Amino acid sequence: MKNIHNIGVGNIVFGENHPLILIAGPCVIENENECCRIAEKIKDIAVKANVPFIFKASYDKANRSSINSYRGPGVRKGIEILSKIKKEIEVPVVSDVHCCYEVDIVKDVLDLIQIPAFLCRQTDLLLDAANTGKPINIKKGQFLAPWDVKHVAEKVLSTGNKNIIFTERGTSFGYNNLVADMRSIVIMREMGYPVVFDATHSVQLPGGMGSTSGGQREMIVPLTNAAVSVGCDGLFIETHEKPEEALSDSASMLPLNQLLPLLKKAIRIREAVRSE
């Protein structure tokens, strides 16, 4: 296996011999006060677990199932809120870009630019994001084999930007279902890139509720444990104080009060695997 590249995001480093990283936050920015409150609570949890933390929330959910679903405050208002969280709570921030024009708006705030799974092969979007010089978190598409991410990486590398992280978030398994194949984490890491496991999108049932996606929240913990055991470099966890009331991905987000025990167990597993 190639040595895993060390990728810096703010004062945090992904890579071999570095701590397990937490990327976490609500699925979408619902309002400024709530978003700031959740960010502060997650930071407290991360400190207790001794886990480096990057805050994530989407300013626009551009791929909602229904035209009537809440999408978020939009890029300009959303990036103001993320900037406030970055400065006042003192954590790095990440959000997903959907269009090339958004990249120029967010590049001076985001510490990590995320490419959504459905857009992971969009060449112009990848190139524009990479040309910022910022580290890029690319979510592997539900339709993509893990060995095919090398072609995605080549697009980013063509700009001279080598700061690539991949996120495994499940693979389409028939209609309205995903399967988390732990081989994907191993295969992508063998290419030399840090790999994050998205523990909450991997339990989605896309479109499973008709006009919205369902989810199997009870699978978050066992899949997290499995991903850590095979060597993932970070965990991506969408969390909410009251997931059942969330405006997006309510069926698949982790209740915030379950985050600390999940992290503590993940760290124990990681330590056990590394001590072998």
**Domain-located, residue 1:** no
Is residue 245 in a domain? yes
**Hey, what amino acid is at 57?**
A
Q: Is residue 171 part of a domain?
A: yes
As a dihedral over the C-alpha atoms of residue 260, residue 266, residue 269, residue 270, rounded to 10 degrees, the angle is -120
Q: Looking at the domain assignment, is residue 189 inside a domain? A: yes
Q: Which residues pair with 137 in a beta bridge?
A: 114, 165
User: Cβ(6)–Cβ(15) under 8 Å?
Assistant: yes
Q: How many residues does the chain have?
A: 276
Instruction: Summarize pLDDT for 189-245 with one digit per residue, the tens.
Output: 999 999 999 999 999 988 766 666 778 999 999 999 999 999 999 999 999 999 999
The answer to whether the beta carbons of residues 208 and 250 sit under 8 Å apart is: no
Which residue's entry shows tokens 């993509």? 144
Strand bridging mode 178-179 / 171-172: antiparallel
Please state, as a whole number, how many other Cβ atoms lie within 10 Å of the Cβ of residue 102: 24
Kindly state whether residue 155 falls inside one of the protein's structural domains.
yes
Domain of residue 197, CATH code: 3.20.20.70
Helices (H), 89-182: 100-106, 123-130, 149-157
- Is 190 among the domain residues? yes
Number of domains in the chain: 1
> What is the Cα gyration radius of the chain?
17
DSSP assignment of 54-88: EEE-BS--TT-SSTTS---S-HHHHHHHHHHHHHH
Tell whether 28 is covered by a domain: yes
State residue 49's pLDDT score.
98
Give the domain range for residue 111.
7-61+68-274
Q: What is the pLDDT of residue 77?
A: 98
Burial class (CB in 10 A: 0-12, 13-18, 19+), 236: buried
Q: Is residue 2, in this structure, part of any structural domain at all?
A: no
C-alpha–C-alpha distance, residues 126 and 146, integer Å:
18
* Sites in the chain below the pLDDT cut of 50: none
